[in-house]
Amino acid sequence: MNFNYEDIENRKFVKKFNIKDLELSNIDSLIFNNVYTENEPFQFEISSFTKTESTEFETNIYLNSKKYHLNETILKEIYVSIRFFIEIVTTDVEFDLNKILTNIEARIEKTDKIKYLQKKHRDLYSKVKNESEYLVYAEIKELNGYLNWEDLVFDYLSGESEFIKKYLTSDFEISDIPKHIFEMWKKYYLIKTQIDFCKEQINVLQSIENKPNFIDTSLQVFLLEEIINIKDWSSISATKKGNILCHLLGKNKDNIKKIYLELDKKSSENSEKLLNDRKKADEIIKKLLG
């Protein structure tokens, strides 16, 4: 699903250290190697710092009257790694999408296909609509200062020192990923991918449904001649005019109908655009006819 494999290949911190390298007694080395940074990299408030002289690795530390934070680049690498496991390794979203396609093909009428997709969309969304984290994941709204999903995951990871330590020192497995992060992310990925697919398929079906059939040039000319010869054209309904002209103009019949309904109003009630277009049409015809 448009995963960038270069992000995995270009990771710099994974397996870079041994356990002893990460002891806080080596703080100078850790700062030199960009594991910690003194500057606040986040745009939101993370968990409170603990003043400590401990030798245990922590993501946020307070030493010698200075605050240190885990380098944001490490969190970005871990973010990419989790995404890789979810989108590429552990989930088969294509299986779910193929099930939707099969159910679409089982329905003959376009309206039935669209109704199925709309219901599927509603059912999927109902599973997550009350979960604030999903609204961030789907980029529907912000949550408690989290501007996006990456910010939210970074904050969740800030308390997972053991997992981060494993990332920095050795290969980690799917089972090492914090369970609440992995399961939530996987759930949202599967649901949102299907929701987006439903919306995409609805748009495709609706565009096909509203698209007039192609008619070649000679037939369009004959249609125009027939229209010119209609004596009571002005008395024909806007709906019928739309049905006729959509073949000639290659435009949506409902949009043509709306224009005719607008023309039935007084000139003072017409939109400025309609008046300008009418004026332009008059000028073009006068110019062409000399």
pLDDT in the model for residue 263: 81
Q: What is the pTM of this model?
A: 0.64
Residues of the chain with pLDDT under 50: 41-55
Compute the distance between CA of residue 131 and CA of residue 274 in angstroms, rounded to an integer.
46
pLDDT in the model for residue 186: 96
pLDDT in the model for residue 209: 54
List residues bridging with 14 in a β-sheet.
none
Q: Could you tell me if 164 and 157 are in contact, meaning their C-beta atoms sit under 8 angstroms apart?
A: yes
Q: Could you tell me if 83 and 75 are in contact, meaning their C-beta atoms sit under 8 angstroms apart?
A: no
Which residues does 214 contact at the CB level (< 8 Å), separation at least 6? 250
The phi, psi pair for 55, rounded to 5°, reads -90, -5
Sheet containing strand 36-37, strands side by side: 36-37, 66-70, 60-63
Q: Which helix (H) or strand (E) holds 227?
A: helix 217-228
